[in-house]
Structures are given as structure tokens and as C-alpha cells.
Amino acid sequence: METGTDTPAVATVGRRTATGRGDATRTRILEATARLCTERAGGELSVAQIAEAAGVFPNQVTYHFGSKDSLLVHAAFLALLHDAERLEKLGAQAPDAAAFRRTIARVVLALPSLPAVARALAAGISRPDLAPVVDRHLQLLFRQSERYVARLTAGRGWAADRPLPVEVRTFWSTALGAVLLARAGVGGTPADLDLAGTLTLREG
């Protein structure tokens, strides 16, 4: 029996183990960064801070994501998806469609992940290589939101005055646009924006 070399089966197991460890490390870095993005309201983060929070070495951060900016885009949208999942119980709690429209608009504008997402959108504008990453995350957000609204309308007997993809895109585009304006220093408060008015959900 040969020693000092891997058989094909052993080599395959070794590659799977390494891949599994790599995936776990990547997930840990992403989750830690998403948490930091929320806690620091989209403020500047260093690779060293991210590595410390994730319990990894700084070079592992860039190894798994290519650059800090790429990681921050991924993490910002992960934080937003986590926040969006927590919004789902609002549909069950709202007594009617009008109350849901008001509540969802108020809560969304206060999501702690939105400043980080605004930063990610700006990165997609200034860094063409990150634009496809931003687009993929936005499409995922739209699809998940559309599925949620579809379940909500079916379960509550509500209806919308336009196709659900249009409903969802209009709502999120308005919310994210408002945050971008605020990050750019444009004056105003959430009271100046009728985000609830972008929703056409009503009793069927």
C-alpha cells in the first residue's frame, strides 16, 4: 500500500472538507459584517474590524470577497433581507390594508440596514464591477417581497391595483431613493415622503 500520497477517494474527501470550511468562514465573515453594518448605521468599517468581529484573519476577508467594498455590498443586502423578514409579521397584525400600508411605510424607513444599503447602491454607481452584485441582490429583494405580498393578499383577501412586481419595485425604489437623498445631505424627514401612497393594497 502506498504511503505519502492521497488515494482519489481521500483526496475528494479532503477537498470537500476544505470547501466546507471555506464556506463556513465566508458565511461567518458575511454575517459578522451584516451585523456591523446594522450596528454602525452604514458607517465606515475597516478590514481589521470586520476580521475581529468574524474571528478570522484580515487576509481571509479579502480572500473570500475580493475586496472590502464587495463584502460590504453583500453584507448590506443580507442585513436588509434579515430586516425584511422581520417585517412579515406586520401583515398579520394589521387590522386592515390601510393600516398595513401606513405601518409598513413607517417601519421600512426606520430599518437599521437602510443606510448600509444606500452606501452599497452608491458603490454600485461608482464601481462598475460591483453593479452586477448590487443588481443580483436587488432582484432577490424584489422576488422575496413579491412572494410575501402574494401570500399576504391571498391570506387576508386583499388585492392590489397593479401587478405585484410593479407594486414591489415601486415601493422599494421609493424607499431606497429616499435614503440615498438623505445620505447625500438633502434636507427633509420621513414625514415629507408619502411612502404609504406608493402601495395600492386594499380590501378585495
Least confident among 10-14, 51-55, 145-149, 152-156: 10-14
**Which domain CATH number covers 136?**
1.10.357.10
Bridge partner residues of 158 (DSSP): 203
- Domain assignment present for residue 136? The answer is yes
**Helix segments in 40-163, DSSP class H:** 47-54, 58-65, 68-86, 89-93, 97-109, 114-126, 131-156
- Domain assignment present for residue 3? The answer is no
- Domain assignment present for residue 40? The answer is yes
For residue 21, what pLDDT is reported? 64
Q: Predicted confidence band at 138 (pLDDT cuts at 50, 70, 90)?
A: very high
The cell for 151 is 401570500
Least confident among 11-20, 152-161, 195-204: 11-20
The count of structural domains within the chain is 1
- Domain assignment present for residue 61? The answer is yes
Average pLDDT for the chain: 85
Asked whether the CA dihedral 190, 115, 107, 172 is positive or negative, the reply is positive
- Domain assignment present for residue 1? The answer is no
Bridge partner residues of 159 (DSSP): 202
**Phi, psi of 149, deg, nearest 5:** -65, -35
pLDDT average, residue stretch 35-45: 79
135 to 68, 96, 120, 125, 141: CA distances (angstroms): 18, 33, 11, 11, 10
Please name which of 93, 96, 112, 118 lies closest in space to residue 181, comparing C-alpha atoms.
118
pLDDT average, residue stretch 60-65: 89
pLDDT at 6 over 90: no
pLDDT at 176 over 50: yes
- pLDDT, one tens digit per residue, over 71-111 is 999 999 999 988 888 788 888 889 999 999 999 999 998 88
pLDDT average, residue stretch 136-148: 93
pLDDT at 29 over 90: yes
Judge whether 202 and 159 are in contact, CB under 8 Å. Answer: yes
Bridge partner residues of 35 (DSSP): none
**What's the domain range around 124?**
8-203
- Domain assignment present for residue 56? The answer is yes
- What is the rounded CA–CA span in Å between residue 10 and residue 3? 12
- Domain assignment present for residue 2? The answer is no
pLDDT at 159 over 90: yes
Rounded to the nearest angstrom, the gap between the alpha carbon of residue 137 and the centroid of all alpha carbons in its chain is 7
For residue 141, what pLDDT is reported? 93
- Domain assignment present for residue 103? The answer is yes
3-state DSSP percent of the chain in helix, strand and coil, to 5:
75, 0, 25
For residue 1, what pLDDT is reported? 40
